[in-house]
Amino acid sequence: MTPGPRTSSPPVALSIAGTDSGGGAGMTADVRAFAACGVHGAVAVTAVTVQNSLGVSGFHPIPPDVVADQIRTVAGDMGVDAAKTGMLATAEIIAAIAAVCDEVGIGSGRIPFVVDPVAASMHGSSLLADDALDAVRTQLLPRATLVTPNLDEIALLVDVKVVDDASAREAARALHALGAHAVLVKGGHLEATSGRRQDECVDLLSLATGEEHEFRSPRLDRPHTHGGGDSLASSITAGLARGMSLVDAVALGKRYITRAVEDSYPLGAGHGPVSSLW
């Protein structure tokens, strides 16, 4: 039976992020995760990257007022139920995003706002200017509903080397002290920082109230994980756009990313992406 025309709008999630010409990471991963998780994806492009499976060979930041205008235009028409940031490129772009988010009600306890503090690609190319880290600390973390750093980003932001549960909690406390309402410490890189074999991938969700939750999945050794971090943050954002609690949204994100990594595929001569094709 052909379904009749839809008469109601789906929730809207907004990705504020960079493009990936290879279609694996950044905003391209976000929009795929949004669709797979049942929400409409809107986009505010912060930078155009030139990249393929072998890495990023260039990036071109978008003028800050154009980034802000994209957010304002979407919010003023279709509305935004949750937003997330990915690659932000420069301190000037971050300042423009912070200002327009205040204007349209994203973050600071209003529309859920997930900050994925993307600093570099898995090949080591910088996606954030060195002088922009401080803007992430002072302008984004205090507005964030949830911040989703990996262990390298934690070292950059708060100078804590996460090697075990105690240091994961110390990192979360340091990020709360910078104003983040909730922190998801992603344990995916723990094998590298601790030097110990990990059979599970454990993510710690820490709330500023002191509440904590652990999310566990079997550790999958897959060569194709390009866009994994973006996909986790954007599937959590989709859950928040659908009105889920933070804990339920993170559980949805963890299920999504586990399946996306399980189903990841080779593409090109380098690292292929996590999947959204099932």
In order, the DSSP letters of 142-168 are GG-SEE---HHHHHHHH-----SHHHH
Cβ-based nearer residue to ligand PLP, 45 or 182: 45
Instruction: Compute the half-sphere exposure of residue 86: CA atoms within 13 Å on the CB side of its CA.
Output: 32
Q: Which is nearer to ligand PLP, 50 or 207 (CB)?
A: 50
In whole angstroms, the minimum distance from the beta carbon of 135 to ligand PLP comes to 17
Minimum distance of ligand PLP from residue 222's CB (angstroms): 12
Residue with tokens 């260039």: 58
Q: Residue 211: which region, alpha, beta or left (left: phi > 0; alpha: psi -120 to 50)?
A: beta
* Min separation Cβ 28 and ligand PLP, Å: 8
> Could you tell me the smallest distance in angstroms from the CB atom of residue 196 to ligand PLP?
23
- H/E segment holding residue 60: strand 55-61
Pairwise CA distance, residues 223 & 230, whole Å = 17
Nearer to ligand PLP, 92 or 116 (CB): 116
Indicate the helix (H) or strand (E) that contains 182: strand 182-185
Q: How far is the CB of 233 from ligand PLP (least distance, A)?
A: 8
CB-nearest residue to ligand PLP = 26
Number of residues written out for the chain: 278
- C-beta of 18 vs 253, nearer to ligand PLP: 18
Kindly list the residues in this chain that would bind ligand PLP in the complex (CB under 6 A).
Answer: 17-18, 20, 25-26, 49, 86-87, 118, 121-122, 127, 226-230
In the complex, the smallest distance separating the C-beta of residue 227 from ligand PLP, rounded to whole angstroms, is 5
Place of tokens 């949750």: 82
The residues, any chain, with a CB within 8 Å of residue 245's CB and separated by 6 or more, are none
Using the minimum distance from each CB to ligand PLP, give the nearer residue, 11 or 26. Answer: 26
Q: How far is the CB of 13 from ligand PLP (least distance, A)?
A: 16
* 3-class state of residue 140 by DSSP: helix
Task: Give the CA distances from residue 241 to residues 87, 106, 248, in Å, rounded to whole numbers and listed in that order.
Answer: 20, 12, 12
Q: Which is nearer to ligand PLP, 120 or 202 (CB)?
A: 120
Q: Which one, 16 or 176, has the nearer CB to ligand PLP?
A: 16
